[in-house]
């Protein structure tokens, strides 16, 4: 008798057979979509600032904010994608639909960058009298960008979850495979980023942007075909309804009963969750939410069979309340990891603008400014490889655990990003000294672009730690029915990081630009970008302290209160040995 996965079905709706579904091959097909998504999003994002400034003739601060708003919206829309996946579509259909939307967006962008009517005329020979793009031209560009953002948000919210769906958490062997999937997921996604910042950016700058974006469109179509080819091999998890609705039901129920007293005996709180669906034991934390589980008059209503059922907007189970508590416990960690992505945003905006002012030649080859992020990606790949092949085995022998905990990885990432901003401020101070001595209007300063490598390398290494740490943390520490939403919650840290960058740029430009060009001048040779980087380094130190406090609080509460204690009909090792 073949083994089945208790909470998954195959393409026919039957219990998923372990021997015929799931595993590394189906997970890899889903991973292909994510690789191409990263190829497109990063290929556009890292080089968009040069297109906006050089072709569309937008000021540097405006160009930077367009990029960060585009990236921020992409990740913010992950919440929408997660909601649709949980409530209506399921993860597979969500990936398929939003991949199509992204392919349409990159197709429009390829056309917009090809037709001369959709961009302003070039500047004169002295780079004077540059006419900025009009509203219609920018409108078409925004249409393409935000279709891509919509597609990215929809598919990113579900790809990692759909990949982990191919492994059974109750099977010891597959659980280990799923843990390695997190690391290899990010490694191969970073390979897509590497291709974006090298090959794709070079094609955009030296051959044509329309060809570069056309490659993104074709790649997504191919990835979609491969995704569809695995329909019979996938495991599909049953939807448990929208976690957002469940959270609102608990909050509404607790608010309705806010004046009621909690019973002395917590066993009197309402609980009818079948044990097979993993009941969660009551915890003595956020007790105000427990009031949603107090049984009161009018909490039950008749069903179609003449019986009574609880009204979910008035009465919630203890398990449902505890699921909301688990999500609330994640929020301090969520809030203190946002700033990392604000510093990350500088690598795609002002660091690229810095690179465009420096010597970028190797012999007769001119490195595109956007391709300097290859050192950023190289840092990610080197860090992941060393961690996977050296640190994890050593740590397992020493501590008995395979590598750092997710909280430790996030702490390392935050520390590295703060160091990166400090180094960036020192490097920019040196660059400004060269600009002052050679002339601020000089197009290319007598300073090598390789001076920017340390800041790219430190923040790239930081991303390797914090991305895998966050992904692991938000998926493993969230309730079973809220994993897609928790992935969306993780991705909102990226979104808000980009939006905070836009906000800081606007505030700093307004405060420091009174009567002069300020820190963030249109020509950065006239500004004080080093002060802006220094500000981010100081904010990073403060944020790191707050993160450590939040991490200590989270560990103490989850260990003491047992936030993940569950009871189930299973033995935790699968239905049977296969």
CATH number at 32 reads: 1.20.1250.20
Classify residue 368: in a domain, yes or no: yes
76/210 same-domain check: yes
169/302 same-domain check: no
99/144 same-domain check: yes
Phi, psi (rounded to 5 degrees) for 265: -100, 115
> How distant is the alpha carbon of residue 199 from its chain centre?
23
User: What is the domain count for the chain?
Assistant: 3
Classify residue 455: in a domain, yes or no: yes
Q: What share of the chain is helix, strand, coil (3-state, %, to 5)?
A: 70, 5, 25
Classify residue 570: in a domain, yes or no: no
Classify residue 219: in a domain, yes or no: yes
pLDDT at residue 564, rounded to an integer: 45
190/285 same-domain check: no
Number of other CB atoms surrounding residue 359 within 10 Å: 15
Classify residue 491: in a domain, yes or no: yes
What is the extent of the structural domain holding 350?
329-562
Report how far residue 166's alpha carbon sits from residue 27's, in angstroms, rounded to the nearest whole number: 6
pLDDT at residue 253, rounded to an integer: 92
pLDDT at residue 240, rounded to an integer: 65
Residue that finishes a domain, picked among 285, 308, 323:
323
530/448 same-domain check: yes
Number of other CB atoms surrounding residue 120 within 10 Å: 16
Got the DSSP string for 428-463?
HHHHHHHHHHH-TT-SS-SSBGGGGHHHHHHHHHHH
pLDDT at residue 151, rounded to an integer: 92
The dihedral sign for the CA sequence 434, 440, 446, 451: positive
194/265 same-domain check: no
Residue that finishes a domain, picked among 296, 323, 350:
323
233/247 same-domain check: no
Classify residue 575: in a domain, yes or no: no
Classify residue 567: in a domain, yes or no: no
From first to last of its 578 residues, the chain has per-residue pLDDT tens of 348 777 788 888 888 888 888 888 888 888 888 888 888 888 888 788 888 888 888 887 888 888 888 888 888 888 888 788 877 888 888 999 999 999 999 999 999 989 989 888 887 766 667 788 888 999 999 999 999 999 988 888 788 778 888 887 777 777 777 777 766 777 777 778 888 888 888 888 888 889 989 999 999 999 999 999 988 888 888 776 677 888 899 999 999 999 999 988 888 898 887 765 567 888 888 889 999 999 998 888 887 777 788 888 999 999 889 989 988 999 999 999 999 999 998 888 888 888 888 888 887 778 887 777 788 888 888 888 888 788 878 877 777 776 788 899 999 999 999 999 999 999 999 999 998 988 887 878 889 889 999 999 999 999 989 988 888 888 888 877 677 677 778 888 988 998 899 899 889 988 887 766 788 888 888 889 999 999 999 999 999 999 999 999 988 776 654 444 444 434 444 444 45
220/287 same-domain check: no
- Spatial CA neighbour of 269 closest among 285, 292, 288: 292
pLDDT at residue 121, rounded to an integer: 86
pLDDT at residue 432, rounded to an integer: 92
109/205 same-domain check: yes
293/435 same-domain check: no
Residue that finishes a domain, picked among 239, 272, 301:
239
76/195 same-domain check: yes
pLDDT at residue 407, rounded to an integer: 92
Classify residue 354: in a domain, yes or no: yes
pLDDT at residue 566, rounded to an integer: 44
pLDDT at residue 563, rounded to an integer: 44
Beta carbons within 8 Å of 578's beta carbon, 6+ residues apart: 2, 3, 18, 19, 171
337/232 same-domain check: no
């Amino acid at each position: 008798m073949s083994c089945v996965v208790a909470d998954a079905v195959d393409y026919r709706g039957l219990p998923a057979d372990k021997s015929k579904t799931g595993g590394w091959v189906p997970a890899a097909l889903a991973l292909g979509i994510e690789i191409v998504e990263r190829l497109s999003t990063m290929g556009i994002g890292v080089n968009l600032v040069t297109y906006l400034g050089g072709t569309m003739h937008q000021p540097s601060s405006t160009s930077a904010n367009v990029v960060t708003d585009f990236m921020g919206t992409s990740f913010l829309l992950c919440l929408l994608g997660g909601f649709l996946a949980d409530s209506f579509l399921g993860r597979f259909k969500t990936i398929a639909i939003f991949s199509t939307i992204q392919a349409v967006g990159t197709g429009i962008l390829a056309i917009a960058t090809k037709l001369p009517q959709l961009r302003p005329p070039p500047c004169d020979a002295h780079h004077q009298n540059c006419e900025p793009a009009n509203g219609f031209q920018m409108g078409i560009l925004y249409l393409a960008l935000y279709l891509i953002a919509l597609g990215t948000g929809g598919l990113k919210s579900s790809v990692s979850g759909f990949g982990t769906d191919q492994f059974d958490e109750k099977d010891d062997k597959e659980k280990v495979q799923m843990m390695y999937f997190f690391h290899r997921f990010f490694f191969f996604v970073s390979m897509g980023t590497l291709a974006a910042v090298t090959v794709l950016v070079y094609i955009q700058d030296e051959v044509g942007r329309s060809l570069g974006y056309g490659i993104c469109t074709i790649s997504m179509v191919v990835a979609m075909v491969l995704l569809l080819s695995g329909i019979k091999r996938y495991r599909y998890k049953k939807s448990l309804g929208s976690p957002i609705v469940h959270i609102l039901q608990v909050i509404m129920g607790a608010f309705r009963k806010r004046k009621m007293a909690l019973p002395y005996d917590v066993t009197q709180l309402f609980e009818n969750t079948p044990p097979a669906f993993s009941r969660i034991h009551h915890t003595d934390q956020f007790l105000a939410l427990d009031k949603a589980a107090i049984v009161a008059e009018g909490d039950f209503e008749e069903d179609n069979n003449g019986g009574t059922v609880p009204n979910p907007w008035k009465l919630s189970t203890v398990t449902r309340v505890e699921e909301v508590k688990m999500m609330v416990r994640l929020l301090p960690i969520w809030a203190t990891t946002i700033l990392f992505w604000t510093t990350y945003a500088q690598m795609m905006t002002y660091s690229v603008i810095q690179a465009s002012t420096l010597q970028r030649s190797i012999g007769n080859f001119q490195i595109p400014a956007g391709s300097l992020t290859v050192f950023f990606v190289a840092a990610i790949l080197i860090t992941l490889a060393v961690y996977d092949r050296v640190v994890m085995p050593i740590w397992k022998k020493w501590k008995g655990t395979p590598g750092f905990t997710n909280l430790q990885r996030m702490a390392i990432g935050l520390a590295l990003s703060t160091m990166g901003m400090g180094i960036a401020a020192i490097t920019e101070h040196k660059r400004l000294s060269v600009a002052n001595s050679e002339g601020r209007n000089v197009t290319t300063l007598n300073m090598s672009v390789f001076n920017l490598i340390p800041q790219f390398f430190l923040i790239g290494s930081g991303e390797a730690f914090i991305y895998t740490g966050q992904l692991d943390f938000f998926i493993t520490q969230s309730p079973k029915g809220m994993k897609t939403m928790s992935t969306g919650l993780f991705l909102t840290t990226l979104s808000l990081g980009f939006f905070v960058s836009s906000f800081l740029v606007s505030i700093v430009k307004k405060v420091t630009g009174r009567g002069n060009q300020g820190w963030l001048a249109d020509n950065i040779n006239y500004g004080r970008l080093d002060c802006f980087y220094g500000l981010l380094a100081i904010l990073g130190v403060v944020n790191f302290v707050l993160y450590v406090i939040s991490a200590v609080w989270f560990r103490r509460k989850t260990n003491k209160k047992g936030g993940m204690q569950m009871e189930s009909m299973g033995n935790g090792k699968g239905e049977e040995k296969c």
